[in-house]
Amino acid sequence: MDGNTVFHARDVVKVYDMGEVQVQALRGVDVDLYAGELVVLLGPSGSGKSTLLNILGGLDRATSGEVRYLDKSLVNANDKELTEYRRHHVGFVFQFYNLIPSLTARENVAAVTEIARNPMRPEEALTLVGLSDRLDHFPSQLSGGQQQRVAIARAIAKRPAVLLCDEPTGALDSSTGIVVLEAIDQVNRELGTTTAVITHNADIAAMADRVIHLSDGHIASVMKNERKKSPNELKW
């Protein structure tokens, strides 16, 4: 691994035991992710995108193969080490926002900053995603796109080295989705956070530094965008 490599994965296999049946989600994946880049993982449902992201994020373990975050093996890490890794190094954004309904936007973000080593102030994180005027609104008072931006603010407030986003626009219409992608793009540019975004929407791939196509548990191709588009140039 060189000094620019954040994730190094080789021959990664993931098999799920479903009672009598074994499902092979990843079939020998090799991939590297680099410091500060924005990568889109593209592919149909069932191609292995979420499984790969969950393994990189320490939410799941590879059945076999090598997965390293910087100089740390995620395959050999125990549960306590994986919990520490997730807490201090990784921010997650999912399709559904998972906000606490009884807490304001500020309080939802503060719930994470209270356990982080060097957090942003919640107000700073919410301002970065364009919600400085919604600090004291409850989730029920926010649109879907605003709730997702609160979720992004919550994920980045602990200053993670890595931001992993699984279908972050999946529950949103295209115009709202673009606002959310702009927030992710801004975090990547301003904080230098290594960012991976899962989507099945090929149009979103144009905003990435690199596009990794998955198919049937394999990496089908890796493409570099010579010119990245800003989210507001995307059409879908």
**202 versus 102: which is more confidently predicted?**
102
Residues 78-99, buried b or exposed e (16+ Cβ, 10 A)?
Answer: eeeebeebbeebbbbbbbebeb
Q: Is the pLDDT of residue 200 over 90?
A: no
Ordered by start, the domain boundaries in the chain are 36-61+78-233
Q: What percent of the chain has pLDDT over 70?
A: 98
pLDDT exceeds 70 at position 87: yes
Does residue 113 carry a pLDDT above 90? no
Looking at domain 36-61+78-233, its CATH class is alpha beta
Query: Residue 118's pLDDT is what?
Result: 83
Q: Model confidence over 131-188: pLDDT tens digits?
A: 999 999 999 999 999 999 999 999 999 999 999 999 999 888 888 899 999 999 999 9
Whether this prediction's pTM lies above 0.95 is answered by no
The yes-or-no verdict on residue 80 having pLDDT over 90 is yes
